[in-house]
Amino acid sequence: MFLIYCLLWLLQPIIGNELNENKPILQEITLPKKFNYNQVVRLNCDLVQGAQPLKFDWYFKNIKLDNNNKTKIIIGDDSSDLIIKQLSVDDLGDYQCTVKNPYGEYSQMVSLYINGEFSHLI
């Protein structure tokens, strides 16, 4: 029994590193440099690391988004895009991309707010 305990103690850093490498981590979501009212805005959520299988979800103001006439979600092997059609004041707020796999979950958030030339919309 003592031998098994010692072996597990020695292998813990190796097992721990493997689990950490398999946990998903996302790159920071960046906003497009310029976007205008009534245009399409695309938010990109890229995986930095993580093992398959992956499940991506998008949220707006903590409500899960699905494909509809206003938003389109595109999911690739290691990324997901959220396309917001015809940007309006109602689309302003916090967007969150979440990725899950058997080893864990990770989220990134970005806030979409109108400023500068968009101030006339408020």
Q: How confident is the model at residue 26 (pLDDT cuts 50, 70, 90)?
A: very high
Q: What is the pLDDT of residue 110?
A: 95
To which residue do tokens 């998903």 refer?
Answer: 24
d(CA 17, CA 14): 5
Q: What architecture is the 2-121 domain classified under in CATH?
A: Sandwich (2.60)
Q: What is the pLDDT of residue 8?
A: 46
pTM above 0.85, yes or no: no
Question: pLDDT tens-digit profile of 88-122?
Answer: 999 999 999 999 999 999 999 999 887 644 444 43
Sign for the pseudo-dihedral over CA of 59, 65, 70, 73: positive
Give the start-to-end residue ranges of the domains of the chain.
Answer: 2-121
